[in-house]
């Protein structure tokens, strides 16, 4: 029960029982006679007579005691009586037309006229005028809102009373307040009680005066005295009940309402008052019973129907409530409150248009009541008619500029249309009008939060909490603000406070669950989602929230169940279908995911995010063209969301439409220039079309926008590596690792680069770090194996290849890489098995056939190798290397013309590859087409001026053409390009020998031996030269060195035999020669002539000396690529 309700009720009782007030009530009762039976009319007539007699007695007492405020002179009496009669006549004409039809109407008029000429009747007029002047003041007192709109129809003790003209008594009450008559009244009552201590009405009157002064305890004493003096007066019990209720002593109050009813069970008003009391303490069902009793006692009183309607509305029995409002309106169609009450009920039923009609009716009936404008404004706001709502809030403020609620209501509307600054002004006005109302601080905080002025928002939340520390919602709102500021731990504290204040509000548990989820405390989050669901199992949001948490910890099946529960609770909410689709997508159940995305779109075709999510799913399914369509739809729905442009850019990049992708990256950046990801994406696109310098700029922009994102440093490091700026790349890999030392990719990237720089030991360390961070990635083991292979740690390499295969036994690449390692170890048979496994896992990979062909070539099984080269070409006819490989194999079996055809095919596929021209030159030289060979040598050198082999190859051709001086020039170029290649010094030595520049030749033979002391040919060549120079003893030393390096080569033994013969050591020569024949039948020609002549020897050895290896190196690179 509100302050207004009790005050208004007490005012009415005060008027009935005190002298002057009793007179006023007489005229009020006239206004209600038409609602009573004939019997009641007679009773009221008697009350008029008795009341006025009491008035005269009391007035005489006041005259004798010279009470302040002596009355006007006798000459004014007649005028006062005339004014009173005119006013009463107007009242009767307007509100009491029933008198014309009443058989007792003339009797009532006689009662009035009988006393119209009495002395002091002007006092009645005086009181009526005072009431008229103050009616608006009392009626416009602010009422406490419920939620964000004002629950009109509070003040039920007043509004539900018998008073037809309620404003009359409201004005009188305020008038007495303003006249500060309470102290005088108390003195008067004390004097009267002293003179007449047995008069119960005097104690009763003083109790009312004390009540109006909020001196409730003293008021109760005087109510008790009144009851003691006259225990049969039901009104005394009723008014004491109201005072007890005001003191929150509800049980006692109900007992006194019962006593009043017991004393006078026919007074409908007592049942109504008890019903209001029960309703105020939420005992709605009992309240309905007493409203029914009141209606039964007096079915013509519209207020009782209204009171019951309010009770029904409070327990959400809206249809019944509407029926009772209709009955109230039927009985009294001129009372604006009934239309207003019905409007509120319709509002609660979300029947906003009908509610607006009834608000209009209320305003029409009473255009001065600001509450009705306020109610209509709230209804308009609820259907997003904000501009109209603002107009009606303005009208409410104009009607009653002292009511803070109206300013607050307008502030809320302005907030909803993002007119934040104006909203703040109206909240300030509300606070100015009522600085103790916590809600206003709370709403201002919400607005500041919307403006991202979080620190200020927190201050106002604190103010709201300070004003009302028991309101859980304020703690909840502050928790939400802290959550948005990523101050999660503090947010959790405030959620706890909200829960402590109101442990039954499921939203608070839900909010805390979301905060816990945000800091990855998923298990705790699930517990709070469960609590929310337990508190309110009908709220679909809680099931959806739990589903999201389960999704984040990869408990996909459970997540799907909770999404299904959310959908079951609210099948019209598109978000639930969307989240289920996301989960299905995570489970790679893409087709089902697409169906649920479609459902989300069907439920809400205006939500751009659903189109975006479906585009992402289609992208993951490599259905890029469809994905682009859905990105377009998302952009069309929301052209301001930069993410959609970014998503489309990524899709375009994936199908190599890089220029278009760049345009969409630019659009994304234009929409949101602070998002570093967009710059990073554009850098990737630029890198893909080899615009490296621009790409570096965009990587730098990304890093500038977000210097803590390690991925940006990693991307730039990869680009610098691609640009061969290795040292810089290493710095950015280090930065990436520093920013995020837990990301295995970064260690892997740096390891790859170190391997490329031949810093294998360091590379191995970083591969180990990558494996330590993520031991489930097979690729890391494979790459470490390749690094080990590069430094000839083959056995360890095989172990890591095996680990990679164990991690991912279905990936053909891992078998393929192990095959390469085995081939490098000359374990060709095993290598072939692993090539076969790779082919079995991936029969479409042409590289596997190609690499197997190379291994077979190394086993001199050239015909078989040709078959695998053909398979490689068949699988991928665009790869020039495969044609080159087959050309080499054909050349190795002296099928030179065919080899030339395949060299030409390789050159046609890739005319920029220098080694194809190099190979063709060798083939041409092999069939003595030296000029053509030289031409292709030139092409090779032109394509790659740094490769020493190409200069060497041309030098050999020139040597074979006896163009020795030119040959020397090209040997020098080769040595300049690769000064550590011993073969080049050996080649130059042979050319010098052929020019008879023997001493120089010896120097270059020595250089060759120094560069590679393990090559037997170099010792043998120098031995021949020393033999030619007749330096036989020295020649024998070098022949012995050659034999020591390679004891299986018969040529070296043969050279030694000839040298021994030259110095007449025939017996030893013969033994070596015989042993050599036994080991090697190639020297069978020596059997017919045990001694070979010097000339024959020199001719044979010269051919061997200058024979060069014409078989180019083919095969996979160290990293496993071709």
**972-998 residue pLDDT tens:** 999 999 999 999 999 999 999 999 999
Rounded to an integer, what distance in angstroms lies between the CA atom of residue 464 and that of residue 456?
13
CA distance 682 to 668: 10
- The answer on pLDDT for 114 being more than 50 is no
Of the candidates 825, 893, 819, the residue with the CA atom closest to the CA atom of residue 849: 819
Distances (CA, A) of 952 to 90, 958, 980, 1108: 130, 10, 14, 10
Report phi then psi at 36, rounded to 5: -110, 165
pLDDT at 75: 41
What is the pTM (predicted TM-score) of this model?
Answer: 0.61
Which of 833, 884, 812, 825 lies closest to 858, judged by CA? 825
As a whole number, mean pLDDT of residues 226-253 equals 93
C-alpha distances (whole Å) from 279 to each of 241, 265, 270, 310 are 15, 20, 14, 9
Buried b (16+ CB within 10 A) or exposed e, 744-775: bbbbbbbbbbbbeeebbebbbebbebbbebee
In residues, how long is the chain? 1122
Helix (H, G, I), strand (E, B) or coil at 877: coil
Which structure tokens are listed for 510?
């839900």
- Which two structure tokens, joined as six digits, stand for 90? 């107007």
Of 133, 131, 144, nearest to 3 by C-alpha is 144
Tens-place pLDDT, residues 892-920 = 999 999 999 999 999 999 999 999 999 99
Q: Regarding predicted confidence, which is higher, 296 or 280?
A: 296
- The lowest-confidence range among 76-85, 206-215, 343-352, 659-668 is 76-85
pLDDT value, residue 1068 = 83
Confidence of residue 1114 (pLDDT cuts 50, 70, 90): very low
Mean pLDDT for the stretch of residues 512-533: 96
Residue 812 has pLDDT above 90, yes or no: yes
Looking at residue 1069, its pLDDT comes to 82
Per-residue confidence band for 1067, with pLDDT thresholds at 50, 70 and 90: confident
Write b or e for each residue in 95-105: b if 16 or more Cβ atoms lie within 10 A of its Cβ, otherwise e.
ebebbeebeeb
Q: Which of 23-32, 375-384, 824-833, 876-885 has the lowest mean pLDDT?
A: 23-32
User: Is residue 169 pLDDT above 80, yes or no?
Assistant: no
The number of C-alpha atoms within 13 Å of 919 and in the hemisphere containing its C-beta is: 32
Query: Which residues of the chain form CATH 1.25.40.10?
Result: 1014-1106
Per-residue pLDDT at 61: 39
Q: How confident is the model at residue 1103 (pLDDT cuts 50, 70, 90)?
A: low
Place of tokens 């703040």: 424
Nearest to 818 by CA among 788, 843, 844, 842: 788
pLDDT digits (tens, 9 = 90+) for 641-653: 999 999 999 999 9
Confidence grade of residue 1066 (pLDDT, cut at 50, 70, 90): confident
Lowest mean pLDDT among 130-144, 318-332, 897-911, 1084-1098: 130-144
Structure tokens, 537: 């199992």
- Separation CA 158–CA 370 (nearest Å): 18
The pLDDT-based confidence of 627 (bands split at 50, 70, 90) is: very high
Mean pLDDT, residues 1071-1096 taken together = 56
**Residue 79: what pLDDT?**
43
Beta carbons within 8 Å of 71's beta carbon, 6+ residues apart: 120, 122, 123
pLDDT band at 616 (very low <50, low <70, confident <90, very high): very high
Cα torsion 508, 509, 514, 518 to 10°: value is 100
Does the structure show a pLDDT above 90 at 302? yes
Cβ atoms of 718 and 734 within 8 Å: the answer is no
- Across residues 831-857, what is the average pLDDT? 96
Lowest mean pLDDT among 62-66, 526-530, 598-602, 994-998: 62-66
**Given pLDDT bands bounded at 50, 70 and 90, which one contains residue 108?**
very low
Neighbours of 945 (CB within 10 A): 12
Contacts 24+ apart (CB under 8 A), 349-354: 349/318, 352/379, 352/382, 352/383, 353/383
pLDDT confidence band for 1080 (50 / 70 / 90): low
pLDDT of residue 492: 97
Residue 126 predicted with pLDDT over 60: no
- CA torsion sign for 555, 557, 561, 566 is positive
Of the listed ranges 138-142, 554-558, 823-827, the one predicted with least confidence? 138-142
Distance CA 256, CA 277 (A): 11
Q: What pLDDT does residue 1079 have?
A: 62
Mean pLDDT, range 264-269, rounded to an integer: 94
Question: Can you give the pLDDT at residue 358?
Answer: 96
Q: Residue 1120 — very low, low, confident or very high, per pLDDT cuts 50/70/90?
A: very low
Helix extents (H) in 893-947: 896-909, 914-926, 930-943
Read off the pLDDT band of 1078 (50, 70, 90). low
Residues of the chain with pLDDT > 70, as a percent, come to: 80
Superfamily of domain 1014-1106: Tetratricopeptide repeat domain (1.25.40.10)
SS3 146: strand
High-pLDDT (> 90) share of the chain, %? 76
pLDDT at site 335: 97
Q: Is the pLDDT confidence value at 1 over 80?
A: no
Which pLDDT does position 1049 carry in this prediction? 85
Work out the number of other CB atoms within 10 angstroms of the CB of residue 681. Answer: 25
DSSP type of residue 1110:
-
> What is the pLDDT, as a whole number, of residue 726?
96
| The pLDDT value given to residue 180 | 58
At 197, phi and psi to the nearest 5? Answer: -70, -10
For 847-872, the DSSP string reads HHHHHHHHHHHHTT-HHHHHHHHHHH
Q: Cβ distance 672 to 642 under 8 Å? A: yes
CA-closest candidate to residue 677, choices 628, 630, 711 = 711
- Which residue has tokens 């160290």? 1118
When the pLDDT of each residue in the chain is averaged and rounded to a whole number, the result is 84
Nearest to 221 by CA among 236, 199, 233, 232: 236
Euclidean distance between CA atoms 470 and 498, whole angstroms: 9
- For residue range 389-429, what is the model confidence (pLDDT) as tens digits? 999 999 999 999 999 999 999 999 999 999 999 999 999 99
Identify the pLDDT of residue 1102.
53
Confidence band of 85 (pLDDT split at 50, 70, 90): very low
Predicted pLDDT of residue 65: 38
């Amino acid at each position: 029960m509100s302050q207004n309700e009790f005050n208004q009720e007490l005012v009415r009782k005060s008027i009935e029982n005190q002298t002057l007030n009793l007179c006023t009530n007489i005229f009020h009762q006239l206004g209600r006679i038409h609602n009573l039976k004939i019997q009641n009319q007679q009773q009221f007539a008697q009350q008029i007579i008795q009341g006025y007699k009491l008035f005269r007695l009391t007035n005489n007492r006041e005259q004798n005691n010279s009470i302040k405020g002596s009355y006007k002179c006798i000459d004014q009496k007649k005028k006062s009586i005339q004014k009173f009669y005119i006013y009463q006549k107007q009242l009767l004409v307007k509100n009491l037309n029933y008198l014309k039809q009443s058989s007792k109407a003339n009797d009532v008029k006689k009662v009035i006229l009988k006393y119209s000429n009495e002395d002091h009747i002007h006092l009645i007029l005086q009181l009526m005028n005072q009431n008229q002047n103050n009616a608006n003041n009392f009626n416009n007192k602010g009422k406490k809102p419920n939620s964000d709109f004002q629950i009109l129809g509070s003040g039920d003790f007043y509004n539900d009373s018998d008073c037809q003209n309620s404003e009359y008594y409201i004005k009188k009450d305020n008038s007495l307040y303003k006249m500060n008559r309470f102290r005088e009244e108390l003195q008067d009552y004390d004097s009267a009680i002293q003179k007449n201590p047995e008069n119960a009405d005097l104690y009763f009157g003083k109790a009312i005066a004390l009540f109006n002064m909020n001196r409730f305890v003293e008021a109760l004493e005087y109510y008790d005295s009144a009851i003691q003096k006259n225990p049969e007066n039901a009104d005394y019990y009723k008014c004491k009940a109201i005072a007890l209720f005001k003191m929150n002593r509800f049980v006692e109050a109900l007992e006194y309402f019962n006593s009043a009813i017991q004393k006078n069970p026919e007074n409908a008003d007592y049942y109504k008052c008890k019903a209001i009391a029960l309703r105020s303490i939420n005992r709605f069902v009992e309240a309905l019973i007493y409203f029914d009793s009141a209606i039964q006692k007096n079915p013509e009183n519209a207020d009782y129907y209204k009171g019951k309607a309010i009770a029904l509305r409070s327990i959400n029995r809206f249809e019944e409530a509407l029926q009772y409002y209709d009955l109230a309106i039927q009985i009294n169609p001129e009372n604006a409150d009934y239309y207003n009450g019905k409007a509120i009920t319709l509002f609660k039923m979300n029947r906003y248009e009908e509610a607006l009609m009834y608000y209009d009716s209320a305003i029409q009936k009473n255009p001065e009541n600001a509450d009705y404008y306020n109610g209509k404004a709230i209804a308009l706001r609820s259907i997003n008619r904000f501009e109209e709502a603002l107009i009606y809030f303005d009208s409410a403020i104009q009607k009653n500029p002292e009511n803070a609620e109206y300013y607050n209501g307008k502030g809320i509307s302005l907030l909803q249309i993002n007119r934040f600054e104006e909203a703040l002004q109206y909240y300030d006005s509300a606070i100015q009008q009522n600085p103790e109302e916590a809600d206003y601080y709370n709403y201002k905080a919400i607005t500041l939060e919307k403006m991202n002025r979080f620190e200020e928002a927190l201050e106002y939340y604190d103010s709201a909490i300070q004003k009302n520390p028991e309101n859980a919602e304020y703690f909840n709102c502050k928790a939400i603000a802290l959550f948005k500021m990523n101050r999660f731990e503090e947010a959790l504290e405030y959620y706890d406070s909200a829960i402590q204040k109101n442990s039954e509000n499921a939203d608070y548990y839900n909010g805390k669950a979301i905060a816990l989820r945000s800091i990855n405390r998923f298990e705790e989050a699930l517990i709070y989602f469960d609590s929310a669901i337990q508190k309110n199992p009908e709220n679909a949001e809680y099931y959806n929230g739990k589903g999201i948490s389960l999704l984040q910890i990869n408990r996909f099946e459970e997540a799907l169940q909770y999404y299904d529960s959310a959908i079951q609770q609210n099948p019209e909410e598109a978000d639930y279908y969307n989240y289920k689709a996301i989960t299905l997508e995570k489970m790679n159940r893409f087709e089902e995911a697409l169906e649920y995305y479609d459902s989300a779109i069907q439920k809400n075709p205006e939500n751009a995010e659903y189109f975006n999510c479906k585009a992402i799913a289609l992208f993951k399914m490599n259905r890029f063209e469809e994905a682009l369509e859905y990105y377009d739809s998302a952009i069309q729905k929301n052209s301001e969301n930069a993410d959609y442009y970014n998503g489309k850019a990524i899709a375009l990049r994936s199908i190599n439409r890089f220029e278009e992708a760049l345009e969409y990256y630019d659009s994304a950046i234009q929409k949101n220039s602070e998002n570093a990801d967009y710059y990073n994406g554009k850098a990737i696109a630029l890198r893909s079309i080899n615009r490296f310098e621009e790409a570096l700029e965009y990587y730098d922009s990304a890093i500038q926008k977000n210097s803590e994102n390690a991925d940006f440093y990693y991307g730039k490091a990869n680009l610098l590596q691609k640009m061969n700026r290795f040292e810089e790349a290493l710095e950015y890999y280090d930065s990436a690792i520093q920013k995020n030392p837990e990301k295995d990719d970064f260690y892997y990237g740096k390891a790859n680069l170190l391997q490329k720089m031949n810093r294998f030991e360091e590379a191995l360390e970083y591969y180990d770090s990558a494996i330590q961070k993520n031991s489930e990635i097979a690729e890391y083991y494979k790459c470490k194996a390749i690094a080990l292979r590069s430094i000839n740690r083959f056995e360890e390499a095989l172990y890591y290849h095996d680990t990679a295969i164990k991690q991912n036994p279905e990936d053909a690449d891992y078998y393929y890489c192990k095959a390469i390692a085995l081939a490098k170890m000359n374990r060709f048979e095993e290598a072939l098995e692993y090539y076969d496994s790779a082919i079995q896992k991936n029969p479409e990979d042409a590289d596997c056939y190609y690499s197997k062909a190379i291994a077979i070539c190394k086993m001199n099984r050239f015909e078989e190798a040709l078959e695998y080269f053909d398979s490689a070409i068949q699988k991928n006819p665009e790869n020039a290397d495969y044609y080159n490989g087959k050309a080499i194999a054909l050349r190795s079996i002296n099928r030179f013309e065919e080899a030339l055809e395949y060299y030409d095919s390789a050159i046609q596929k890739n005319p920029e590859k220098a080694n194809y021209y190099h190979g063709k030159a060798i083939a041409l030289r092999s069939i003595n087409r030296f000029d053509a060979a030289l031409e292709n040598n030139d092409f090779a050198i032109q394509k790659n001026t740094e490769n020493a082999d190409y200069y060497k190859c041309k030098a050999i051709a020139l040597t074979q053409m006896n163009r020795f001086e030119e040959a020397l020039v090209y040997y020098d170029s080769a040595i300049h390009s690769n000064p550590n290649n011993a073969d080049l010094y050996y080649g130059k030595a042979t050319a010098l020998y052929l020019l008879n520049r023997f001493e120089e030749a010896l120097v270059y033979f020595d250089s060759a031996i120094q560069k590679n002391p393990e090559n037997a040919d170099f010792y043998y060549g120098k031995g021949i030269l020393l033999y030619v120079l007749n330096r036989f003893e020295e020649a024998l030393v070098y022949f012995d060195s050659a034999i020591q390096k390679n004891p299986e080569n018969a040529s070296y033994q043969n050279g030694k035999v000839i040298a021994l013969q030259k110095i007449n050591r025939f017996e030893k020569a013969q033994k070596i020669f015989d042993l050599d024949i036994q080991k090697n039948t190639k020297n069978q020609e020596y059997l017919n002539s045990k001694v070979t002549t010097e000339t024959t020897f020199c001719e044979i050895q010269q051919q061997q000396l200058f024979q060069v290896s014409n078989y180019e190196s083919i095969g996979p690179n160290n990293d496993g690529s071709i």
